[in-house]
Amino acid sequence: MTTPTESGAKAKVLMVDDDKFLVDMYAMKFTQQGYEIQSYLAACDALAALRGGYKPDVVLFDLIMPECDGFSFLDSMHNEKLAQDAVKIALTNQSSDAEAARTKDLGADAFLIKATLLPSEVVNRVGEELQKHRKA
């Protein structure tokens, strides 16, 4: 199920997670489904790519990371007006309602809990969020 952009190009996903195994696995899953993915193990590196002009369709990020957590990452994107048109999705094992509400308050479009979803389900949910975003 490929999810092209309106121009017909592959949808671009920027992923940030400090777990290399998960990043590599999700990169493979997204690539298999026709996405273009750039992944980073640190939020500061992802921010540098965004500051450098990278324009993803989706930003998928973990909340708990060393140095710069997902909340700070979202806040920086908002304050610096980075990836404004991208769908922003938290992909985390944090499951508290307070954390979900905080990510929404900071501009996230969705909050997914890793432990409750198979990787293929995550890819499908990202596609669903992207479609909803385009119709809005």
Kindly report, residue by residue over 19-44, the tens digit of the pLDDT. 999 999 999 999 999 999 999 999 99
Q: What is the pLDDT of residues 7-21, one digit of tens each?
A: 557 999 999 999 999
Q: What is the pLDDT of residues 46-95, one digit of tens each?
A: 999 999 999 999 999 999 998 899 999 999 999 999 999 999 999 998 88
Residue 45's CATH number: 3.40.50.2300
In a domain, 110, yes or no: yes
Task: State phi, psi for 92 to the nearest 5 degrees.
Answer: -145, 170
What's the total number of domains in the chain? 1
In a domain, 5, yes or no: no
pTM over 0.85: yes
Q: Helix crossing, 97-105 with 70-79: angle to 10°?
A: 20
In a domain, 130, yes or no: yes
Cα 99 → chain centroid: 16
What does the radius of gyration of the chain's CA atoms come to, in whole angstroms? 13
| Per-residue pLDDT at 67 | 87
Q: What is the pLDDT of residues 98-107, one digit of tens each?
A: 999 999 999 9
In a domain, 1, yes or no: no
> Which of 16, 30, 23, 17 minimizes the C-alpha distance to 125?
30
